[in-house]
Amino acid sequence: MVRGGLLGPKPGFWTAASGPQQILLRSRCVSSPDSHREPGQPPPDQKGVSPFDHPDSFHSASQQNPMTEIRQAKPLAVPESEALRYLPEGPIPLGDGLISWVGIQHGSDSTIGSLNVLDLRAGVNQSFDLPGRPGFAFPCEHEHTFVVGCERSLGYYDVSSGLWRTFCEGIDEGVENTIINDGMVFEDNLIFGTKDLEFSTKKAGLYLYRGSDRKLIRLRDDQICSNGKAMLRDPDGTLQLLDIDSPTRQVVRYEFDIEGGRLGPPQVVLDLAGDPAVPDGAILTPDGRGMIVSMFHVDPAVHGETRLYDLSSGELRCVWQTPLSPQNTCPALVRLGGELKLVITTAVEHMDSEARNKCTAAGRIFLADVDLEDTGTALTPLYPLIVG
């Protein structure tokens, strides 16, 4: 791992010419003989040695539907440091075997975070400290530059020079104790939300930063922890925004008028009421028919879960388990050697020493096989560098 903001990009880092691999969404795996273990069953080297009083403590829909496929994700040796393992989120594919991700904050009392670039083949992670806590970072059309939501500002960060430039402020103006959280790129627009740092009060915003006139528009002001987002387009061209406010345990759909800067009434797409975990980051499948949702389980558990739901029926199709890492934060799809794989970030946020001793893989980045058709479209839209 290399830290600092003045390091140039590694060979193979994406360029504007090659571009990252557009689905209207945002997401080195090796197969193993235990890749289809039953839910709750520990890996082979842990059989009969569970540190948990109740190994099946992660009770989920996957244990209720015998048709749900169960897969095992495998942890990488990154992040290496405790600071970077605290709250990794927002993995984004930059090219074959290359992703970026953000360390939202480097500890429970930290007020800084980082942008990271991970080479999945080499297992090498470059980390660049940012001037605050980032909620998201997306690659721009301009080489080496990312658009970042950091604290209550939007800005550009150049990984080759370490330069940071703010272009939008005033987010959640008049509201206390919130910062930017998850977001997405759609054409020349940014759609993102904020979170209440106490995870309790409906005061966080949902925003559109409209690229056509560089205007910040607050769409909602009553969320608690605004998380996963994706965009669908109806046959008539109408846009549908899928959005998660984690404590509600729901995925909702809004008809979205970007030109008018407004949302239609919310419609519940997925209702996960009663689940012990809350939905966090999410992406669409390449065909737009399914949603992959990472579930954040605060309490110690034998594994975490990232799930694939069918959007038309709500059926749970697949569960990727992350052994000994219950806090799944965000999924991403990436091509590795031309094959589609799943990246899952996990965290150690809120864990005390006892929980850490049980959840020894917490904070690691996981990779897994997927059985999804690769449509060949780009996996990441590039954000245009808007000057003004």
Give per-residue pLDDT as tens, 262-276.
999 999 999 999 999
Tokens of 176: 């206390």
Residue 55 predicted with pLDDT over 90: no
Specify whether the backbone of 169 is left (phi greater than 0), alpha (psi in -120 to 50) or beta: beta
- CA 283/CA 314 separation, integer angstroms: 15
**Whether residue 5 has pLDDT greater than 50:** no
Split at pLDDT 50, 70, 90, the class of 385 is confident
pLDDT digits (tens, 9 = 90+) for 128-173: 999 999 999 999 999 999 999 999 999 999 999 999 999 999 999 9
DSSP string over 14-78: --TTT-----SS-------TTTTPPTTPPPGGGTT--SSSSTT----GGGT-TTSEEEE-EE-S-
Helix (H, G, I), strand (E, B) or coil at 85: helix
pTM confidence score: 0.86
Q: Judge whether residue 51 has pLDDT over 60.
A: no
| Percentage above 70 pLDDT, the chain | 83
Q: Where are the domains of the chain?
A: 21-28+64-369
Amino acid, res. 206? L
- Residue 168 has φ and ψ, to the nearest 5°, of -150, 130
pLDDT of residue 50: 40
Domain 21-28+64-369: top CATH class = mainly beta
Q: Decide if pLDDT at 43 tops 80.
A: no
Tell me what pLDDT residue 16 has.
Answer: 42
Q: Please, what is the Cα angle at 308 between 113 and 203, to 5 degrees?
A: 45
104: pLDDT strictly greater than 70: yes
- The beta-carbon contacts of 143-147 under 8 Å, at least 24 apart in sequence, are 143/14, 143/15, 143/16, 143/17, 144/9, 144/13, 145/385, 146/100, 146/115, 147/185, 147/190, 147/383
Band (38; pLDDT cuts 50, 70, 90):
very low
Element (H, E) at 357: helix 353-358
- Please give the average per-residue pLDDT across 368-381, as a whole number: 95
- Tokens at 114, concatenated: 């980082």
> Does residue 339 sit in helix, strand or coil?
strand
Distance CA 168, CA 111 (A): 20
pLDDT of residue 31: 29
Phi, psi for residue 84 in degrees, rounded to 5 = -75, -20
> If you average pLDDT over residues 204-212, what whole number do you get?
97
pLDDT of residue 387: 61
Question: What pLDDT was estimated at residue 384?
Answer: 94
Distance (Å) of CA 68 to CA 250, 292, 315: 20, 14, 9
- Looking at residue 219, its pLDDT comes to 98
The chain-wide mean pLDDT, for the chain, equals 87
- Model pLDDT, residue 66: 77
CB atoms within 10 A of CB 124: 13
Question: Region 41-59: what's the mean pLDDT?
Answer: 40
